Structure 1
């Protein structure tokens, strides 16, 4: 079965991009369609695949920041028809689900577009011009978004949390398949210069809903601790116990997970890959008791819940994490359910169910 994988854009190294790679492995496919593609800024494995792009890719500025293409992405995907596939498997939290296909189209949804359906969270920290632009575009883009969702033959959600949103936003019942941990614990490791084991780590891009600033503010007031922030950089001055890293390799990220005293996860996540990645290394996790973390973290087994109500409450809950005695082998066993092999089996089985239901409905 010839399978084409579709993704919103390939210009960053994030959890969704790791999922795309595993979707391709599950179906032995190397055919990927995306809007814009920057090989230098995403995972190098995509360079070994047949990545095709939409015409927007010809604009260098859009490859640098695909969000600038917001007014055009819906039309670009909906006007592109895939004619040479037996199955189209879409990875989307934005526009990719609007692609047109002759073959069955199944959407693996990381979240309905956050800027349309969780606007306040997405725009946290954005300037007035960005907020005005979203407000003006939102009615039209919401119509196109829903039309694209209803054109799919089936929806798969990355969590119960997202399945509930899909039901609320589109009226679609989605089956749930958790994504795999994107980073396997077995592989090359590379120490990060200037760091000794025992630090705290948080991983996430610089987006308002990631709430990295809350963690930085809390740990800045804990001079005996060091927080390593991976993936985002703030222009504000921070004390020396806040270390900000960008362009971290997988080998360095393995070393960070393995040598951290704990991972901190404070963002409003639909699923949240970083805790399950940390579990693979036996690293305890402090996470807020919200969103996808409720489906993966177990208080007292994998770590503890964070209370992000105030800086003081957050510091106190971080202290609880650091003072706990954690069974790292038990954490690793808990994390095994998010291995790539488990994801492949669950994804293929769920897609087969959707295709079988589709065939039965047509026959009826």
Structure 2
């Protein structure tokens, strides 16, 4: 039998925070799942308690992902009418056309930035033909997206930072429900002597600044986990520095071990909406050196669960924070980190979500 609740999520392509959030909803409510695509490199969804519908609608043509997902959600005729629907993603809200009589709740991770605050940046990186196609996509998609969002009964988002972005882009009021962290999953194992970067290797994560800082601190150990498009440039930047170690992509077990054994984590992305990595770090009792803007200001407690660093002279800021955050200081912050992480537990998240259903 179908559940009373269905989650509609854009796609499962990676092992990301949005995907984890949707899985938590499916397991904790419980709920059925509708998605436009399930890729090979995402989480194993086979253990979820509800029905899973994969529309297999992701286009193979580069650059039209949003169009292909949106068309799939608009055209899909559900075989069962769920009385409660939770939407997650950019294209999924367009499915509301088939759920007029349901209780419709949209968890907006962010308004699509290629339409709103980052549109000019996207356009400037395109040649004239791609720019023409890009503008046509926006002209087709934006009015449908805005109409769908305005039909929602409830609009939720992941941070006060994004709530303000929604208000500016859509002139709508959203309620903040912080994303969930499995606080029982991440555990303090030992007090190591290395600092850990867990961010995906993307230019916005600014791992290059972390590496430059550690090149100037040969007595401090840095482990750079994960991978991504910027892995090779980052390795070239690090050279053969004996104090900087790259692990490549790791299994969940390996990641948990590294996190549980490090001295502290370093996470300095640009313009982060929420940032689950610091919460996971705190859950493992490990303090964080974090960027002092975006959603990170809503999770970190300066001086209690780590230290915040500003964009100005970022390399030097990281160096100063590392020198300040010794093993002794990290141990002293352990209990505050673990306590702070509880504010973002699965239990807290699901309780808040249920208030809006």
CA RMSD of the aligned region, Å? Answer: 3.0
CA contact 1:184–1:277 (8 Å) conserved in 2: no
Query: How much does 1:305 deviate?
Result: 0.7
Q: Distance in 2 between matches of 1:250 and 1:122?
A: 35
Alignment partner of 1:211 out of 206, 215, 218: 206
Give the equivalent residue in structure 2 for 1:26.
Answer: 28
Q: How does 1:63-74 map to 2 (within 5 A)?
A: 69-74=65-70
Check whether the contact 1:121–1:208 (CA below 8 A) recurs between aligned residues: no
Distance in 1 separating the partners of 2:91 and 2:86: 14
Q: Partner of 2:21: helix, strand, or coil? A: helix
8 A Cα contact 1:114 1:122, kept in partner: no
Query: What's 2:245 paired with?
Result: 243
- Asked if the contact 1:232/1:246 (under 8 Å) is kept, the reply is yes
Structure 2 residue 285 is matched with structure 1 residue 282: yes
How far residue 110 of structure 1 moved from its aligned partner, in angstroms, is 1.3
CA deviation vs aligned residue, 1:288-317 (integer Å, no higher than 9, x gap): 111111111111100111133222233223
CA distance in 1 between counterparts of 2:296 and 2:282 reads 12
3-state DSSP of counterpart to 1:70: helix
Alignment of 1:5 onto 2:11: no
CA distance in 1 between counterparts of 2:135 and 2:203 reads: 18
Mapped to 2, the partners of 1:207 and 1:78 lie a distance apart of 32
2:64 and 2:221 map into 1 onto residues whose CA distance is: 35
Residue 272 of structure 1 deviates from its aligned partner by 0.9
- 2:224 is aligned, of 229, 232, 245, to 229
Q: Contact 1:81/1:99 (CA < 8 Å) preserved in 2?
A: no
Please state whether the residue corresponding to 1:99 is helix, strand or coil: helix
Deviation, 1:319, is: 2.4
**Contact 2:188 2:286 survives alignment (8 Å):** no
Alignment check: 8 A CA contact 1:202 1:228 kept? yes
CA contact (8 A) 2:187 2:285 kept: no
The runs of 5 or more residues in structure 1 that have no matched partner are 353-364
- Deviation, structure 1 residue 178: 0.6
1:85 and 2:87 aligned: no
Q: Does 1:171 align with 2:171?
A: yes
In 2: Cα distance, 1:203 partner to 1:264 partner: 8
> CA separation of 1:244/1:52 partners in 2, compared to 1, >3 Å: closer, same or farther?
farther
CA contact (8 A) 1:90 1:108 kept: yes
Which of the residues 319, 322, 333 maps onto 1:318? 322
Offset, 1:114: 2.5
- Secondary structure of the 2:278 match is helix
2:19 matched residue in structure 1: 17
Give the aligned length: 336
| Residue from 251, 266, 269 that aligns with 2:268 | 266
> Offset of 1:330 from its aligned partner?
2.0
Query: Partners of 2:38 and 2:342 in 1: how far apart?
Result: 32
